[in-house]
Structure 1
């Protein structure tokens, strides 16, 4: 069963609302502008819904217009206010110079202000009203600027944090100001008592889909006497204030929701909502003892919980919750795909880690209590899964098994942890400052002995965190605490090899990218397993050699030396991976990069290679992460062939007798919680997390089989990128399950092959 806890993004449509919409489409389908009987019935329905909305919102006077949603309402309000300001300018009246909006407003507000300010050529100054650590507006700041403001935009309650604005305080701060006042009331409907007529609010937009009505229907309240300019002109509907044939199914559905809200038959009381919120908070504290709630300094909607967990990214938490079939978000749904730190929390001045790792859990006033109870159980299971993965600061004795090579990526930079389960020893290669806490936690949780922390070269884009990692490890888990017996890259002085049980690491000096560039070669009883080559070779790129510490004339000879030692088929693991390609080989890069081919096949000498490489590296732009680019991409790694396979195509190919291996590339903390596609006994299954997929690649490459690898994850995004990477490595029979687990057919929709676990 799906547990939907992202109500601030949207809500399911209530059965009563669906029934009302269907009735409006099937029986009461008239156009309310028609004067015959069918049209009059539609008009009566619309008038009834408007009257009910007036009672619910406490707005007996003023305009109450049906719109497509809050964004249209915001646009109409801003256009109306700014048009009135332009008329004042044209008539020679004194003109306010400021447009003010809360720093934590939904992006629709500042974007509307900028748009219409530019379009109407007002050139007014747009300023964000600061908020304090409690998320509430700085009323003194507002009071000082209110006399020069033409429009002030605030919220009733914030969509990310649930923080309730001090509307009475804002009203007082605006006393005597010429400014019009818009209050975004989207999150307040059904959760806060609204008394629009009791305050000098000029505009208040609402959105139906935030309270169990369909998408595409909303309301805009306009105070009597406030200026209004139609955003849409045409047939004159809504008193010529919002033209276009009315969305009668949406209006009918919204009316049904407002009726339930007015009668109190379904929606929970404030006390009941508070109790539900406290139960969820308690479960979150049990699951994540170090949890920090990001909106605990001011009154909040009990239906919204915004939190961060130290050392755990929002992506990990979202994947974890989604695997448990709990739907939460990382903030506003409008910005969820951008994966940026929360501007709302940044405006509150919270620590950067809290802004970057925040998660929002929100439920609606009609969420059943039984669903809250089930959510609490699953949240506690999520915490246990994260602890078993050693990803929290809470010690866990039931840590899950680990792979030999574990891969971590931060903004394109890659760090590796090599673990040997027999000796319980580990080595870290190219440590990143952002991962210090996570790596220390990994070692402490599993009680491994840290043998070495190595860098492949002196990094130009970040500082090595080796010293901080050593300091964070208890003495009993470290080979030594004396840093003086290691060279500048962390290699133990006087040692030819580092032993990890039956595995061993050797090093190979390959100057070029930097003078100290070094490859670390991992061997086991069967020979060379992988080479950690830093930035010397990357999938589709070579490390740049235009630094002061570079040795460009030695780059070509170093590539030849590397080829002579490891061969053309050895798996090379890079220090940067901007395109999520995981690994490469010299053989593949010879085929993909002309420069590599020229120098390794002998058609270009070291001097010519250095010159050609210098030409590529002129004016290198920063990476998409706004970090220093450590190499010029030659093969852009943008494959055009589709790797996606729809479930229906998969079923058909199984029926034709084709062989498949279903590979779950989700992380262990995900796949232990969630369901996975089931395809019967004839389809073999493997669990190969992307963080350790490099361990499986050699076996897949060596296997003599005609089976197709079908990778899947939660949404299909990660698995599609991995499938492209594996094809680049030579595994042509690799596909990604389109839509992942999220779009896997329900049992009744799937063929005889597919059932849910």
Structure 2
């Protein structure tokens, strides 16, 4: 039984991100606490407390040798793997300064943790080694190319590989790598990152010619800030930290005795054959099979980014066909399931460099999900995880994220009205009328599977698929989407507009097309008018207008003078409240009306106020675009930096106090598939009527539907407080006076 067993509680945490870090086992935590309070002596002191501390330290070192199979060589206590990597690299490069090679190289695995190549690059420059740094390629399974290693080994000053990859769980054949190295160079330093191997695979380091092997405690239930470095006997060594001479002069600084005590207990558990804390490989493989099946049952169509036969059983790396990693992670997180997108250390990246090196598709690399568990997990926890994962299937179906098994899907949340879909700054719009007639504007290739599922699950009658112009920067998706849906639409022009009509008639509105060249010569805008008021509710303007900006005219087809005339034409058609639906949104505005668009775009405002003639506008616009193209990428448009308006923020205590007023409402800005997982009214102690779900993708629709009143108090929330802060900023720009963001979001609400 694991010491941190999750209870069967919908608010509990199912932690499946063990490759990032692990909780500290209670037995280890108890030892750490005891050491901090009782056995706290300094190992360098000669009195009894110091002797006791020194004994504990050496006990941990002795057990470490047994765990990693290091009968000889040094075991050095470090702050973790990154310090161990630094130490190995610095020691090697200092010893190699007078190498005598004509073309020295430093080799590292292409799928290596970034701590390795970044360290090599840094010290190669600082120490003036000036070696060429080469990435060892991998095959489609993530296995290192031993022929490449053999080819370059004779000129190598250092070769860095890893035992188990942190993103994919792929393990390397260390014996084959050793043969490739030592057959061509018996002296080159070889470092192996063993962080993910501890507790998951057998190690016998003294039986190898590995020179340096770093480990980190927090990857296997020990505290953060403690690790070990194995150094082969006779390998080069220079202290990375000098000072008081601790660790026999190899690593100065008072030893982290509580952390070392935690490692001592961890090693004891690993060595105790009668203890069942850590599961056997056979059991771990069975756990992976169960999780694999739960994922298949829930998502249906998955692509795994690694071969199970080449990876440890505790890691599953996959992409859900047709869903982005953000959508999957957001829903998992809302359900209390903790997973990550690729590597936690690279969570700011748009794609996985590990998967890129393995040659997977762009979709897989950009949308990888890593599910990982530790070897202390129990059958009970696996069953709870599988149950929680399978519980998401109904939510997926209800929100058009998977095709429902039911002939009568229960959802309607993602259909009626206007929904925005985004991919890397590009915007696609879906409008669905009350009788489920639908129009898609500016479809995006990467979103075709998602749009296809929505149309199928909602039984939509797709009337038209429209482009606002022939998009210069991306592959045309309109024809591909039409083919994917097996549609037979009425004869249309090159942008999808039906040739036989001047208007598209929907149950409660009409859509009309007007030519608005400027960004390109074929640009059009689609105006959606309400039948009752004849007012333009939505203007789909493509890249003629961007939130706080205008389309680029310094590209093929651009014409600033024609843009001026188009903008004046739009001004005659739109009301102040007409919502602008652009083809790109670089400012993360999500919803903006014509009044605010004019206020935020100085050049547009000057044109419409007749402060500039068309010719003067054109001259300034083209000059501005040319400067922007020189300084930035050739984007579809350039937006001005918006004047920063600090969104009002509340901490949890302030939010609870404000919610005591019955006139205060909560707006959950997460997507419906996240919102529906948790009981927000119960969590905040308010009635269901006081909780409104308006995700950013539906913010434009909310403006037209008048879901919000400008003088009402609203507290906005999301998972982390980031999306809700953006929404609060946007609503403030639109004139909503009493909008507050819940600082830290749901993540910190009960902390």
Structure 1 length-normalised TM: 0.93
Q: Which residue of 2 aligns with 1:752?
A: none
Counterpart of 1:10 (choices 17, 21, 42) is 21
Give 3-state SS (helix, strand or coil) of 1:374's partner.
helix
State the distance in 1 between where 2:429 and 2:631 align: 21
Counterpart of 2:132 (choices 125, 133, 150) is 125
State the distance in 2 between where 1:36 and 1:671 align: 60
Q: Which residue of 1 aligns with 2:43?
A: 32
Aligned CA RMSD, in angstroms, stands at 2.0
Q: Which residue of 2 aligns with 1:334?
A: 345
Q: Are 1:143 and 2:150 an aligned pair?
A: yes
Q: Are 1:161 and 2:171 an aligned pair?
A: no
Q: Which residue of 1 aligns with 2:320?
A: 309
Q: Which residue of 2 aligns with 1:574?
A: 582
* Contact kept in structure 2, 1:65 and 1:242, CA below 8 Å: yes
In the TM superposition, 1:234-313 aligns within 5 A as 234-264=243-273, 265=275, 266-296=277-307, 298-313=309-324
State the distance in 1 between where 2:708 and 2:676 align: 28
Q: Are 1:718 and 2:723 an aligned pair?
A: yes
When structure 1 is superposed on structure 2, of 124-133 and 583-592 the one drifting more is 583-592
Give 3-state SS (helix, strand or coil) of 1:460's partner.
coil
**Aligned in 2, Cα 1:155/1:675: closer, same or farther, shift over 3 Å?**
farther
Shift of 1:551: 3.2
**Aligned in 2, Cα 1:701/1:325: closer, same or farther, shift over 3 Å?**
closer
Shift of 1:116: 1.0
Counterpart of 2:572 (choices 564, 580, 591) is 564
Counterpart of 2:358 (choices 348, 352, 355) is 348
**Deviations 1:533-580, CA, capped at 9 Å, x for gaps:** 222222210112233423322322322222222122322211211111
**Aligned in 2, Cα 1:158/1:609: closer, same or farther, shift over 3 Å?**
same
Give 3-state SS (helix, strand or coil) of 2:381's partner.
helix
Counterpart of 2:611 (choices 596, 603, 606) is 603
State the distance in 1 between where 2:499 and 2:179 align: 71
Structure 2 length-normalised TM: 0.93
* Contact kept in structure 1, 2:574 and 2:594, CA below 8 Å: no
Shift of 1:630: 1.8
State the distance in 2 between where 1:339 and 1:150 align: 30
**Deviations 1:190-238, CA, capped at 9 Å, x for gaps:** 1111111111111100000001011000000001111111111000111
State the distance in 2 between where 1:2 and 1:299 align: 29
Q: Which residue of 2 aligns with 1:391?
A: 401
Q: Are 1:61 and 2:72 an aligned pair?
A: yes
Give 3-state SS (helix, strand or coil) of 2:176's partner.
helix
**Aligned in 2, Cα 1:295/1:548: closer, same or farther, shift over 3 Å?**
closer
Q: Which residue of 2 aligns with 1:728?
A: 733
When structure 1 is superposed on structure 2, of 446-455 and 372-381 the one drifting more is 446-455
Counterpart of 1:205 (choices 214, 217, 226) is 214
Give 3-state SS (helix, strand or coil) of 1:504's partner.
strand
State the distance in 2 between where 1:400 and 1:183 align: 51
Q: Which residue of 2 aligns with 1:321?
A: 332
Q: Which residue of 1 aligns with 2:511?
A: 505
State the distance in 2 between where 1:470 and 1:706 align: 44
When structure 1 is superposed on structure 2, of 11-20 and 638-647 the one drifting more is 638-647
Q: Are 1:360 and 2:370 an aligned pair?
A: yes
State the distance in 2 between where 1:242 and 1:96 align: 33
State the distance in 1 between where 2:679 and 2:64 align: 43
**Aligned in 2, Cα 1:303/1:638: closer, same or farther, shift over 3 Å?**
farther
State the distance in 2 between where 1:186 and 1:154 align: 12
Q: Which residue of 1 aligns with 2:95?
A: 84
Shift of 1:288: 2.1
Give 3-state SS (helix, strand or coil) of 2:202's partner.
coil
Shift of 1:675: 4.3
Q: Are 1:662 and 2:675 an aligned pair?
A: no
Instruction: Report the count of equivalent residues.
Output: 729
State the distance in 1 between where 2:522 and 2:233 align: 74
* Contact kept in structure 2, 1:580 and 1:722, CA below 8 Å: no
**Aligned in 2, Cα 1:328/1:258: closer, same or farther, shift over 3 Å?**
same
State the distance in 1 between where 2:470 and 2:190 align: 56
* Contact kept in structure 2, 1:540 and 1:592, CA below 8 Å: yes
Consecutive unaligned residues of structure 1, counting only runs of 5 or more, are 747-757
Give 3-state SS (helix, strand or coil) of 1:174's partner.
helix
Shift of 1:181: 1.0
**Aligned in 2, Cα 1:396/1:351: closer, same or farther, shift over 3 Å?**
farther
State the distance in 2 between where 1:155 and 1:575 align: 44
Q: Which residue of 1 aligns with 2:199?
A: 190
Give 3-state SS (helix, strand or coil) of 1:618's partner.
helix
Shift of 1:72: 0.2
Give 3-state SS (helix, strand or coil) of 1:367's partner.
coil
**Aligned in 2, Cα 1:222/1:576: closer, same or farther, shift over 3 Å?**
same
When structure 1 is superposed on structure 2, of 409-418 and 506-515 the one drifting more is 506-515
When structure 1 is superposed on structure 2, of 9-18 and 257-266 the one drifting more is 257-266
In the TM superposition, 1:297-696 aligns within 5 A as 298-336=309-347, 338-392=348-402, 397=407, 398=409, 400-401=411-412, 402-422=415-435, 424-475=436-487, 478-480=488-490, 485-527=491-533, 528=535, 529-621=537-629, 628-634=634-640, 636-637=641-642, 639-655=644-660, 657=661, 659-676=663-680, 677-681=683-687, 684-696=690-702
Shift of 1:512: 2.4
State the distance in 2 between where 1:443 and 1:738 align: 37
State the distance in 2 between where 1:130 and 1:702 align: 55
State the distance in 1 between where 2:589 and 2:728 align: 9
State the distance in 1 between where 2:403 and 2:153 align: 47
